[in-house]
Amino acid sequence: MTTPVTAPVTPQRIYQFAFGYAPPLVLEAAIRHRVFDVLDGGPKSVHEIHQATGASERGLAAIMNVLVGLDFLAKDGEGKYSNTPESAAFLVSTKPEFQGGLIRHTSEHLLPRWLNLNAVVATGLPVEPVNQQGPGSDFFEKFVNDIFPMSYHVAQELAAHLNLSAAPGPVCVLDLAAGSGVWGIALAQSSAQVHVTAVDWAGVIPVTSNTIARFGLTDRFSFVAGDLLQADFGSGHRVATLGHILHSEGAERSKALVAKTFHALASGGTIAIAEFLVNPDRSGPMNGLIFAVNMLVNTDCGDTFSFEEIAGWLLEAGFADARTLDTHGPSPLILATKP
């Protein structure tokens, strides 16, 4: 019998993870120095990009070679760089699907907080929670528009699924923790019948209002300022959206919020929940597991949850037919119906 050959264990993955912080910082440097914007006009040399941006040739060459290795840039035999299809679609600041705000949010707002991870693991508490009014309002008003593109297409997919344009009369939508207003905006764009009530902290509502105004939808929105568990949601809504909010609320507040939303919906109404879902045994997906640590760093009780956990809260609140809707987002949407 032959002895099976086992590949030797090496520290290569550890070496890679030791510099795991580098890709988002390199991306941000390229975005800030307009590398992708300049290359949107066609291939250019380092010197040409230096002339267009004013950044140093040494600095540009260093980050652009990394971006070639990461497949965000291509480099030809003459040493000229060009955008890849991915960067052309998502990293050019003038494009509607620009995702650079998310990268900026990571480097400016998240990484400084993650540097406290050792202390946070020891205590189980963040240095400064962002899921409370005050520090939270300042945190969210700075980045809700940065993450608008992350949810916009998913919100449009929800709108198409709900087919609100076929409704025989007015459709009242409740947009909870509205942030940039992205969920309500997509639903309002799908049908002239839709009127949205947007609920968020008083410090965030002006940002919501300004974004809605840019889409020309101000007359289709009403605004309610306050904490989600104290604010008046009204009643008789046809749709309620909870876009990436349960993870910051923690299990107990999330259960209470789901129950309160149930009472705000009309019979036959739909609740739609967007979250970074994890498996029931929390073995994956990795983005959901990492986001749970992000909640550890930034909130006093936040976490990520499985479909099964959230479905249980929905059924306990009185909802029926808890189900998922596959979208192009990081996780499927969770829908349920009020009988």
Domain boundaries, the chain: 12-98, 135-337
Backbone dihedral region of 184: left (phi > 0), alpha (psi from -120 to 50 degrees) or beta? alpha
What's the topology of domain 12-98? Arc Repressor Mutant, subunit A (1.10.10)
Residue 116, classified by CB atoms within 10 Å of its CB into exposed (0-12), middle (13-18) or buried (19+), is middle
Residues of the chain with pLDDT under 50: none
Looking at residue 211, its pLDDT comes to: 95
Our CA dihedral for 149, 150, 153, 158, rounded to 10 degrees, sits at -130
The residue count of the chain comes to 339
Looking at residue 243, its pLDDT comes to: 95
* Among candidate residues 303, 191, 283, the one with its CA nearest the CA of residue 239: 191
CA–CA dist 251, 244 (Å, integer) = 14
Strands in 171-176's sheet, in edge-to-edge order, are 221-225, 194-200, 171-176, 237-243, 265-274, 333-337, 320-325
Tokens of 281: 């045994």
Could you please report the per-residue DSSP string of 222-255? EEEES-TTTS---S-EEEEEEES-HHHHHHHHHH
Dihedral sign, Cα of residue 119, residue 121, residue 123, residue 126: positive
* Among candidate residues 303, 305, 280, 306, the one with its CA nearest the CA of residue 292: 303
Looking at residue 308, its pLDDT comes to: 98
Which CATH superfamily does the domain covering 135-337 fall into? Answer: Vaccinia Virus protein VP39 (3.40.50.150)
How crowded is residue 31: how many other Cβ atoms within 10 Å of its Cβ? 22
Do 155 and 185 contact (CB within 8 A), yes or no? yes
Tokens of 161: 């699924």
Looking at residue 330, its pLDDT comes to: 86
